[in-house]
A and B are shown apart, each in its own frame.
Chain A
Amino acid sequence: MPLVSATLGNILASRREPLLAVLNRLYDQLGNHADRYRSRRDPNDPDLFDYVLYLADDQNDWHTFRFSVDDRQATGFLFVVAVSHRQGKLRI
């Protein structure tokens, strides 16, 4: 959804490479292996499951992305309806 892609762009400061890495991973895993993740239901919203992705970026930051995926809006479709994020610094 537009809000999700806009938020992702903000988090990664529109840096192309990490953004594409995340999007390609989403595309691959949700497109081909969504059943691996469906069982991790959002405890407060049974229509959602969590897809969690970790990213190390070129500014020595760790990112934890929690994507909320709605698999009950329409049969055969997955809607990534939200993303939340945590960031941590690699200090070396």
Chain B
Amino acid sequence: VRVEFVRAVADVLAGDAKSMFITGDLGYNALEQLSATLGRRFLNAGVAEQNMMGVAAGAALTGLKPWVYSIAPFATYRCLEQIRNDICLHALPVRIAGNGGGFTYGIMGSTHHALEDLAVLKSLPNMQLFFPCANDHVAAAVVKMAALDGPSYIRLSISAFGTNREVLHEHPETLTRRYFVRPSPQKGGITIVGAGHGVQVALSALSHLGLDRENVDVFGVARFPWDLVKDTDLTASVAATRKVIFIEEHYRTGGMGESFVAAGMPLESFRILSASYDPNQRYGSARFHMQQCNLTPEALMAAVRGDQQPRS
């Protein structure tokens, strides 16, 4: 995902002399070429994320459009007040890239997981969030961010259950992807919505576990604030099924699932598969962590079966 991001950002930077790239001392084996190409428009701000965000704001106040890069937890939490005060309150075109959203950094431990990044950022004024569903979704998000006059954040993630699956439709503005459509949309069914790479759990279930293809539609959402009026295929699916299972590699509280249900679509049932905190946490790969919090294709299968039982 880093490769796709760097390639897309390099294109933006090559075409816009007012853009610059700032890294928080990360990017080994990824940013070398960018550094060599950009000269003083490439800045390693060192291990000082708060200053990095303030510097980005200052640069933006002179007319520049900085991209700021770190791993997702470092690009968001320590420097949250700088993002809020210096960047968002001034509506500055600072584009923050957090690499390794969710459990991507698995065995690196809890400090390196980002399971609240969207929650803390989505409430900030003027902030727009992008959370691509897959590597081939990143470039479109980067192009959207580059066109914004205000702040934005992109969550770059790799799913432990990632699978290549054909995209049936991608909305050019919302970036919402339709990955699977059931053959007879009139009959009940369930709408499965994955936030960003959370959708990969559903795609894995489709590809490897025989998820009930007669009864599910699968969408990946990738941008917040929502613009669901434009996502007519998604809203039509929800209107038909009135049942949604939402998947996110993020804590439930403050997550995108809460915001999805808050959009007010008429629903009979709404379930969220999400990450969860365990006070007796043990550590392992991203897949291990997702299994620990029951955020798996198998758990999705069970949820789909459960929602298909007649309600007593």
A and B form one complex: no
- Residue positions of B touching A, CB distance < 8 A: none
- Residue positions of A touching B, CB distance < 8 A: none
